[in-house]
A and B are shown apart, each in its own frame.
Chain A
Amino acid sequence: MIRFAEVAVGSGGEVRCSRCHGAQQPVSYRPTAEIAAEIAMACGSWDEPPGPNVALAGTEPFGHPDLPALVGAAIDAHCRRLCLETDAVAMRSSQNAGGSLMAGVHHLRWTILGGTPGVHDVLLGTPGALDLSVEGVRSFRSIAAEESIPVSVTTVVPVCRHNVHDLPAAAGLAVDAGADRVLLRIEDGGLDLTAALPWIVAACDTGVVNGVWVEVEGIPFCLLPGYDLHLSDAVRERAGAKPPICMDCPLDAMCAGALAGASADQLATLSPPSFAERLAVSVLHARETRAE
């Protein structure tokens, strides 16, 4: 419901699974003037309140040689909510955390690959990274509390077959570090959704019982009966609405918002194989398993 315009400060070096994506691409940053112009354009053309809201994303913003100028450009463009998408390691420095807060950065989007060093650090390929990251988020929150600055922290978890079993721990860690929201972003087309489902559900429950909202992106709501509120905003608009991913589903035409009408035979006639089809098979299998 509160949308952010994503403005990339550069590329490469994202927090993502090295097993899925291989070696990191080299980091490169865009020129300050170019980013500032994009920020101004995003803010100037903002047409739906509340906003304008900008997230500086793409790669680690604290690596940009001119981050203060980028923040200043957002403020000059009358940005109402400014978010940094970061691994938060730089926030361990009270100067960075305090400086960001005072400058107007009150939203933090913090990416982790798991809730334990054994998953996050290993998948990222950087020993000790998770602890440093958590320390950074805590520093941001603690200075915000001292200064009575309202902030919002979102923990993003890119979900793949290598970390799916660690999702409840990731939600727990996010709670512990002071997140307001956790976003599970399913990005792995080869993920066995049937097997992933219990972990996703457990992560959602872990968040709710601890007062932190967990949102799931990239999964059809038909997979999560009873949990459809956790699906991303576009889906929650109204029961029966479909997320964009449904448009790729071979069952889209016959589906009223759930797979109630589909049979295994119908699925068997579908070709050629696609991610959406695998998804649909997963859904049916999951339903049948539950029914049994």
Chain B
Amino acid sequence: MATAPLRCAMLALNSPGYRSLALGYLRAYAQADRRLAGRVAFETLDLDTDVDPWWVAWRVLGLEPDVLAVSVTCWNARSVYEVCRIVASVRPECAIVLGGPEVGPIAEDVLSAHPEVGVVVRGEGEITFADLLAELAGSGKAWRVDGITLRHNGEIVGTSDRALVANLDDLPSPYLSGVLTPVDGGAYLETFRGCPHRCAYCFEGKGYGRIRSFSEERIAAEIEFVATAPGVRTFSFIDPVFNLTGERLKTLAGLMAPHVARGVRLHTIEVDIERIDDGAAALLRSAGVVTVETGPQTIGAGALEACHRPFHADRFAAGLAALRRAGISCECDLIVGLPGDDVYDFLAGLRFVLRLDPGKVQSSTLHVLPGTELWERAAELGLEFDHEPSHEVIATPEVSFRDLRRAEVLASSLQAAYRARV
């Protein structure tokens, strides 16, 4: 008699309007894994962060899952933990597996603090998750899977780290495999993993250490698929630096060109603005880019040094001017609460970007994220932050709690005034 397949519910709580690319990768890889064919049944719940955790749990429990796999970020973690508690109470036999940047780097802590969670996947998750499902659907010996931290014989144990995927093309495309349906404005593509920068506050590179790219053929196929999907007029790339190299930018512009001619556009891609000249801006334009997002995050010498960020005001301004000449709008981001910055450094940063008149200015408060250098060095740097997600900074040696809150309100008022224009 055939056994019933393992029911795997995959959950993400996203910003409204978005679908989780991470879950898409996980499911696409697992579905293509022959070991799991006919043995695991997948259901994805892509919900918004504003859905009440109790109703999220209601949706999850309606699927009667044997495994609940959740992608966790600092933004959704509190809700995710609440969902897990409820699900575990009602369905204790369900194995709860978490992964993502919020939990991977602090897997042991997560398992200690959340008894309802059974396994945390560390790092790149596609192969690890598929291996884990194979064990859960078979022998149940999850402790044999590399790249996880789990409860085993009453203890929390971590298995060996898993090597990074050598060839990213081995990961099936979430779009081309039919796992993810592109939606207008909410579809994101990834052309490489890793980040050339080592900013102390950022987990964008996810500790990958080196940059690995998908092949040009794979990128071309995904662009073709998403750009021609019904109803899709805009989409974006999650790459931390869209203009990683001039050659790459030229390639992407070439791949996008036929779709741009039909009116398809790219929104909010992240760029290294100091490397943009008129030529690069023209390539961005021909790639259909209408808006870019960039730093400087800070212009304070102390914070730049503490965070290992290069910043050259003239090059930054020149890049912005080139974008403006190409008709591309720019969002400049600033962070308040970085170590080494006092509140006047932050205000100087605001003044700097406002004088460049970029189009949009966005400031946010520092989040001391697991896995980042700031997380590791928080005590040494004197950073007081909320150890509960989303790990917002509370005070720094340079800025008091009250001044941080004041700076947030002041910046918000300035942003409103800047945004309100003819």
User: B-contacting residues of A (Cβ < 8 Å)?
Assistant: 1-2, 48-50, 75, 79-82, 104, 106-107, 149-152, 154, 180-181, 207-208, 211-213, 226, 229-230, 236-239
Contact = CB atoms under 8 A, between A and B. Distances in A.
Interface of B: 342-344, 347-348, 350-351, 354-357, 402-403, 405-407, 409-410, 412-414, 416-422
Given A49-B355, A229-B343, A80 B421 contact: yes
25 contacts: A1-B351, A2-B354, A2-B417, A2-B418, A49-B356, A49-B357, A50-B354, A80-B421, A80-B422, A81-B417, A81-B422, A149-B420, A150-B416, A152-B420, A180-B416, A212-B413, A213-B409, A226-B402, A229-B343, A229-B407, A236-B347, A237-B347, A237-B348, A238-B344, A238-B348
B422 A208 contact: no
B409 A1 contact: no
Contact of A230 (B354, B357, B406, B422): B406
Nearest to B350: A1
A236 B407 CA distance: 11
A225 to B, nearest CB: 12
A152 B417 contact: yes
Contacts of B418: 2, 50
A208 B357 contact: no
B355 to A, nearest CB: 5
A180 B355 CA distance: 21
A118 B414 CA distance: 32
Nearest to A210: B409
Nearest to A104: B422
Name B's interface SS. Answer: helix
B407 A150 contact: no
B410 A229 contact: yes
A79 B351 CA distance: 20
B422 A75 contact: yes
A211 B416 CA distance: 12
B418 to A, nearest CB: 6
What 6 A-B pairs are tightest by C-beta distance, nearest first?
A213-B413, A49-B357, A106-B420, A152-B420, A104-B422, A152-B417
Contacts of A181: 413, 416-417
A239 B421 CA distance: 30
Nearest to A78: B422
A91 to B, nearest CB: 15
Nearest to A50: B357
Contacts of A50: 354-355, 357, 418, 421
B413 A180 contact: yes
A241 to B, nearest CB: 9
Nearest to B407: A229
Contacts of B409: 207-208, 211-213
B185 to A, nearest CB: 16
Contacts of A213: 409-410, 412-414
Contacts of B348: 237-238
Nearest to B356: A49
A129 to B, nearest CB: 26
B406 A49 contact: no
A221 B417 CA distance: 24
